[in-house]
Amino acid sequence: MRQGQKGSSDMEGKKKRDESPAPTDGHKCRFFRFPLLVATLQLLLGVAVTAVAFLMMAISPSLLARETPHWAGIILCLVAIVGFVLYFLHYLPDERSSMQFFVKLLYFVLCAIGLVISVLVMAFAGHHYSQANSFTCEQVGEDCECKLEPEDPIARTFTYEGVSDCEVINGTLTLYFLLQIVLNLVQALVCAVGAFILWKDRYQVFFAGLQIGSPSFQQWQKV
């Protein structure tokens, strides 16, 4: 009797080990479910960066594209749209759907690109912010001419066309540069969080090795 009970318990234990765990729905919390919150933040930050950039462009048509990074905000809005597409896809564990795998890969790559772009914009904005803070400007007709060192006769002159008051360059423009630094810093952090969560969900797992003696090699348990 004892041998029969022992054999029955061994068979039940082996059967439990062979059974793969039922897929769990990781989407129980609807609003805070990834990537809804991240994509929403990316969209809001992208719109904010674009709006500030267009306000900067209204100051003077002489401002260059690297000084008015509307392109960075537009790219982040596209990243957010891909995040919303990923959110509304039917979830399957372990990327059993090729569409889900492709969208997750695309979103990961775009988050990484968004991180690099945000850091690049911060570098440009930081440089122009320190530069604009050191400007000495004077009004010349309808333009504003600024120099870093007015005593230097061969110092580079920065001409801002269509500026009726040079205080806009020393005040409003520097404020916009500072705002771009803050917005793109937050934007870079959000992109880094999105990329990290995708990487962790895909790769930061290990196999417990509970089924080494099992004939079904395809049913390993993730923990």
CA 153 centroid distance within chain: 45
Q: What whole-number distance in Å separates Cα of residue 108 and Cα of residue 75?
A: 14
**Joined tokens for residue 122:** 């911060």
Order of strands, sheet of 143-147, starting from the edge strand that comes earlier in the sequence? 136-140, 143-147, 157-160
pTM for the predicted model, two decimal places: 0.72
Give the mean pLDDT of 82-109: 78
Give the amino acid at 54: F
The mean per-residue pLDDT over the stretch 7-11 comes to: 53
pLDDT band of 95, cuts 50, 70, 90: low
CA–CA distance, 80 with 85 (Å, rounded to integer): 9
- Give me 32's structure tokens: 């805070």
- Collapsing DSSP to helix, strand or coil, 149 comes out as coil
**What mean pLDDT is predicted for residues 89-97?**
60
What residue segments make up the domains of the chain, in order of their start? 32-126+175-203
